[in-house]
Structure 1
Amino acid sequence: MDTFHLFVGVPGGPELLVILGIAVLLFGANKLPALARSSGQALGEFKKGRQEIETELREAAEGESNAADPEDAVTETA
């Protein structure tokens, strides 16, 4: 049996309890809600920033494809 397979996967119930216990010891029970709140806010800001960048990239790609079409180009006549 390969030992590598023992450590791969999503942590289950007992592992999560150990992680929670370590977090309580490190940060204290009073600071955990504030830590969770700030982590959630940071994650929300990250998602919002990612969506803004994706929107800008999509708009830039659409702008380049529209500029590449000669039929869409506006020509002025005197």
Structure 2
Amino acid sequence: VAEGECVALIGPNGAGKTTLLDCLLGDKLVTSGQVSIQGLSVTSSQLDYIRGYLPQENVIVQKLKVKELIAFFQRIYP
């Protein structure tokens, strides 16, 4: 994916969309092939400063401000 591009993952249930995101976050280990971000392994601590994730559904308290929600997820994925 080139810089500035926006990508959508589309597919039926079970196609692996969530698994791919889990691998990109380093939450699941890749068992075959390789996954990298900007040429770095997804397990590289250098990615901690450029990688972020905000889930589609907010399972956190609904009264949180956007800034508070982002800070919350930054603590989960330091």
TM-score by length of 1: 0.24
Q: Which has the higher strand share?
A: 2
TM-score by length of 2: 0.24
Q: Which has the higher helix share?
A: 1
